[in-house]
Amino acid sequence: MSMMFIEVDDLETIIRIVEEGSFRAAAEKLNKAPSAITYSVKRIEEQLKTKVFDREEYRPKLTKFGEEVYLRALKIINLNSDLIDFASLISAGIENNINIVVDSITPQEMLYEIIKKFHKKFPSTNVSLQFAVLEEPQKMLSEGEADIAISYKPCNDIECESKIFRKVEFLPVSAPHHDAQKKNTDISNISEMTQVTVGDTSSIDLDLNFPSLNKLKQWRVLDETTKKNVIIEALAWGYMSKNSIDTELQKGRLKIIEALPKRTYCLHLIRKKTGNYGPAVSFLWDEFLNKALEEYIGFKMM
């Protein structure tokens, strides 16, 4: 059985005729002579041994077979375009995919601002953004599942480059009607109340744990969103990043526990020193560092 080769230009011609509505309009769109358009259609019909267009009407209409050819032509043209874009990225040294994993307490508005800027610079590079908790960002980085990580914990591995990214303020909060909001409530009282923290039983809590805390009265959840909902429902009290609960504080769904101290944690920007980074990852790393510098200057001026 002989191999059949269909020209990509012929498939493009089929698509243009359908989208422009006529052979002549397709010729103008493709900057070709009308005879060249006719020849392309004739050639592909001869190769496929069936009619693609019904020419008996004023405007060319796809046959039932032609409809299937058109749909497959769209897929092939898109794949061809993707292949060309991919080859361009590789030849320019630009990464096709970038993996970022960030701690779930990372302020998302700031994060998306950086990624939007990145997409304008590298529109063809795919970004995988994952949110994780506690040790997960550094673990994924060390296992090669991330190019850049943002973690609440600095990396002590000599193979990693670690920079302070920004400070995150944590507030002790509860529902307004929770017992922690009663008058004359102090730390000793609150330490006997149920606290919600993020992590499993083997993890190190990010939250402040008091020496007198009753370990039997703890909720442990896997993410900050669930933790916030548990607090809103007055099932427990807990520490939440200020940026994640601004709306709830304004609407009165959460209230700061005045008897407890506020806490500030640092987020750390981390990558491997040995990584062979292309222009896309390097640009993103620099943007994160620039944002860190802005945050530092703003913090010093407060």
Residues 288 and 150 placed together within one structural domain of the fold? yes
Round to whole Å and give the CA distance between 172 and 294: 27
Q: How many domains does the chain have?
A: 3
Region 187-203: what's the mean pLDDT? 76
pLDDT tens for each residue of 109-129: 888 888 898 888 888 788 888
Check pLDDT > 50 for residue 201: no
Check pLDDT > 70 for residue 299: no
Buried b (16+ CB within 10 A) or exposed e, 25-52: bbbeebebeeeebeebbeebbeeeeeeb
Give domain status of residue 295, yes or no: yes
Round to whole Å and give the CA distance between 108 and 147: 19
Last residue in a domain, options 69, 92, 115 = 92
Give domain status of residue 175, yes or no: yes
Q: Supply the pLDDT for residue 232.
A: 94
Residues 191 and 204 placed together within one structural domain of the fold? yes
User: Among 81-85, 123-127, 189-193, which is the least confidently predicted range?
Assistant: 81-85
Give domain status of residue 2, yes or no: no
Tokens for 9?
Answer: 């230009």
Range of the domain at 219: 168-264
Q: Label residue 86 by pLDDT band (50, 70, 90).
A: low
Residues 252 and 174 placed together within one structural domain of the fold? yes
Give domain status of residue 179, yes or no: yes
Give domain status of residue 62, yes or no: yes
Distances (CA, A) of 253 to 195, 247, 250: 17, 9, 8
**Mean pLDDT, the chain, as a whole number?**
81
Residues 148 and 277 placed together within one structural domain of the fold? yes
Instruction: Return the CA Rg of the chain.
Output: 29
Local structure of 34: helix, strand or coil: helix
Last residue in a domain, options 58, 92, 126 = 92
Last residue in a domain, options 41, 58, 92 = 92
Give domain status of residue 1, yes or no: no
Residues 130 and 197 placed together within one structural domain of the fold? no
pLDDT tens for each residue of 270-294: 888 876 778 888 888 888 888 776 6
Q: Supply the pLDDT for residue 211.
A: 35
Check pLDDT > 90 for residue 26: no
Q: Label residue 248 by pLDDT band (50, 70, 90).
A: very high
Q: What CATH number does the domain containing 242 carry? A: 3.40.190.290
Give domain status of residue 3, yes or no: no
Local structure of 160: helix, strand or coil: strand
Check pLDDT > 90 for residue 234: yes
Q: Supply the pLDDT for residue 253.
A: 95
Check pLDDT > 70 for residue 97: yes
Q: Supply the pLDDT for residue 1.
A: 43
pTM: 0.58
pLDDT tens for each residue of 1-24: 455 678 888 888 888 888 888 888
Q: Supply the pLDDT for residue 224.
A: 85
Percent of the chain with pLDDT over 90: 13
